[in-house]
Amino acid sequence: MQAAVLYSAKDLRVEQRQEPSAGAKQVKVKVEWAGICGSDLHAYLHGLALEAHPLGGQQPPFALGHEFSGTIVEVGDGVTKYAAGDRVAIEPLLYCGDCYACSRGDYNQCMKVGFVGLHRDGGFAEYVVVDEYMLHRLPDEVSFEEGALIEPAAVSFYAVRESKLKAGDSVAIFGAGPIGLLTLLAAKAAGAMKLIVVDLSDERLQKAKELGATAVINGNEENIAGKIIALSNGGVNVAYECAGAQATMTNAVASLRQGGQVMTLAVFMKPVSIDMGQIMFKAADVTATLAYRHVFPEVIGMVAAGRLDVKSVITKKIGLNQIVEEGFEQLIQDVKQAKILVRPSQD
């Protein structure tokens, strides 16, 4: 089979690999579509840790890709809930099941948390083996393309559900990449009335308008927080930080109304400072979510019902052989791109 295997920074090779076989409590999935994520891009630019993950059990190099859907083609011993032919989306979290967080059901906070595709072979391959607990059946109403977007949609859905947002509230979303756009869709579905999106790219802001933003602001403008306060009649109830930068965090805090909240989804590559004077004066909260837990069924249901139009963030579809130049390099160079989907199958 073909797979896109990362050897080191910017050394992603599409090569022939032996097809895997399902072990006990595992299934083999024929991957239909896989999405390129920001964390995939970070791995491509900076490489992966050389040591094997304690739960992944595999040392690099291995195939990237943790946003994917497909069809089960083989089931291992002990698999009882799924069969060959089932259409599935994969929840790719690795967790121990024994630590304090896992014992509370908070498996995304596991001290050893990892991801298929970042800590063992993932979905940028024609076939991949995953554990039975990672599977979620896709109804006929959900396409494989939409199925590949369940994972990033779950990130946004979970953050919105865990935030203070109530129907009729106003929100600001900092960053209009795929997660920011999916957060816009999730906040809209949750009843937000005013949805203000901030980004440096006019093309991405145009996409945000198409998806329901009531106002957009270019991040190069002056007094961004002041404009958000004016647009929201005193500040937003929730600011979603989807960019991961000092400037966006500063503006997120400054744009809140009294009792507001900054909900952080972005991965910050270095520490940022927060004006605690503003937090105290506003009695505001700054919090964050990591990935998701216990939300895949709800996300799949909302996509099936047309409540989350996740396919609207897809900007390009490519084959596996195009993944470097038309996928990863395109995302680095072209700010118009949001979600690029990859089809590993040669059918």
For position 156, what pLDDT does the model report?
Answer: 98
Range 2-137+309-343 classified under CATH 3.90.180.10: yes
Which segments of the chain have a pLDDT < 50? none
For position 57, what pLDDT does the model report?
Answer: 86
For tokens 């991961």, name the residue.
244
**Torsion angle defined by CA atoms of residues 116, 120, 124 and 129, in that order, rounded to the nearest 10 degrees:** -80
Residue among 118, 115, 129 nearest 62 (CA):
118
Provide the mean pLDDT of the chain.
97
- What's the rounded Cα separation, in Å, for the pair 183 and 169? 14
Count of other CB atoms within 10 angstroms of residue 329: 14
For position 118, what pLDDT does the model report?
Answer: 95
Tokens of 248: 């966006």
For position 346, what pLDDT does the model report?
Answer: 73
For position 129, what pLDDT does the model report?
Answer: 98
Peptide bond preceding 344 in cis form (omega within 30 of 0): no
Residue among 127, 145, 137 nearest 74 (CA):
127
What is the distance between the terminal CA atoms of the chain, rounded to a whole angstrom?
A: 12
For position 56, what pLDDT does the model report?
Answer: 87
From residue 78, give the alpha-carbon distance in Å to each of 26, 30, 133, 279.
8, 20, 12, 51
Range 156-288 classified under CATH 3.40.50.300: no
Domain spans, the chain: 2-137+309-343, 156-288
- The tens digit of pLDDT for each residue in 175-203 reads 999 999 999 999 999 999 999 999 999 99
For position 179, what pLDDT does the model report?
Answer: 97
